[in-house]
Amino acid sequence: MLAPTQILDQLKARLVETLDALPLVDGNEREGGGHSALVSVILSLPRLPTGAPQLDGRQFQFLHGHGTEIRAGYGCAAEWEAEGTNRLQALASVADALRGRWHRADPDESGFDAFAMLGFAASAEASPQVEDHLPNAILWVPEIGLRVHEGDAALVLSAILPTNRARLRACWTAALERLVPNLYRPFPDPFMTASLERDFAEPDFGGWSTLVDDALARIADGGLKKVVLSRRLDVTGPRCFDIGRLVGALGCLFPSCQIVNLRRNGKSFVAATPERLLSQRGTRLTVDAIAGTAVRAETVERDAELTLALRNSDKNLREHQFVIDAITEALSNCCDRIATPAQPQVMQLSNAQHLWSPIEAVPRSGNNVFQLAERLHPTPATNGQPRDRAREWLRVGEPFDRGWYTGAAGIIEPDLTGELWVLLRCARVCANRAELYAGGGIVAGSDAVSEWDETEAKLQAMLTALQYA
């Protein structure tokens, strides 16, 4: 087995061999083209990493299945920000212009490709909170990326054009030296559990009850069918939270969830989400409809009773159907062969179980991740139905700006396919402080106490992990 220093030396040598063949001035640049161009080199890793390490500086990680599926990025080769109602269209224009101007070399024939991170806040209209470290929407190409899939791994080195070989060799060598030794360090063990102090909650239970009553009145008069109310909880711990340990704890507690970490300006936005907004692979599109929730029980017998009750709950089935109907309607004008399961499955997590229907479709030619995300976000699972009325009701009624909670983030391929995840079970973390978010869907038949209990169960996901960080 190669030692990390040997792997680093091997990668450096492979990089030098590859640099001579790279086009470091894009053809359109020479003609005075106004669009950016990128160059990337994909280098196979001869040994699987132990995980996606936490380094100083800007980074993102998407991890699934105890690290068997990893997409991570460190530093910045290029990025574009946008805000307002046309934010995804603006970023789509950038990505589309790059499609023929992203030069990739895969000398090891790894089969992997370069990638970017796309992410955006819940609302296109609201500016991020003053203390937020993330812009409203961003397309981000990392300087060095890590991909792990089905037992293979590769690094992706990227840079914006034009550049020169000396500069590129120096920058990419430094990036390899920062990252590679950390790829093979033992995964950090969790700390002993620590007590967390609840500092601030918005709304409190009284405010929550009022919001639920107002929502039910709006539903009763026909203005809404469903609306998703959210809570924010601020906590402090006795030590600075260790993001690596937090990500590791979430991966152990919720192995079927996508673990997300977006870190900029010394702050991390961390999520353990079960819900794909969409996954587009070639001609196949998958969208998760997740709505209708029950808690888990300590005994197998009681847990089975709760699962059966969830499957047969009129209230939860109606809530779930709203999401299915909205997704199929959103896809009807851009996709063919839309297939919905006859009955929802039950997705069981360690702290909750949800009704889940994976919806399959075939996107028509010309529809990419950006356009599909525009159609699908926000779904009734995080916003409500009808979409525009629910969004307006929440804009006025909810006592805080959600920021990136219930937004989306994921990986975009150079051909504009990819995968986006709805940002749920979230926390914004800085030093020993964390701001947690969770919500619950209100439909006819909901009551404030049971919905509050549901949000407590959802908050417990991140609270438990933070105790070990």
Residues with Cβ within 8 Å of 107's Cβ and at least 6 positions away in sequence, in order, are: 14, 17, 18, 41, 42, 43
CA distance 67 to 258: 10
Rounded to an integer, what distance in angstroms lies between the CA atom of residue 45 and that of residue 27?
Answer: 31
Whether 12 is a known active-site residue: answer no
Closest to 37 measured CA to CA, from 97, 113, 119, 111 = 97
| Residue 209 near residue 433 (C-beta atoms within 8 A) | no
In the residue annotation, 226 being an active-site residue is answered as yes
Q: Which of 225, 226, 319, 458 is catalytic?
A: 226
Burial 278-314, CB ≥16 within 10 A → b, else e: bbbeeeebebbbbbbbbbeeeeeeebeeebeebbebe
For residue 362, what are the β-bridge partners? 336
Return the closest-CA partner of residue 190 out of 227, 265, 262, 244. Answer: 244
Of the residues 275, 419, 435, 451, which is catalytic? Answer: 275
CA atoms within 13 A on the CB side of 396: 7
Going through 162-266 in order, the beta strands assigned E by DSSP cover 197-202, 226-236, 258-264
258 Rama class: left (phi>0) / alpha (psi -120 to 50) / beta: beta
Which residue numbers are catalytic? 226, 275
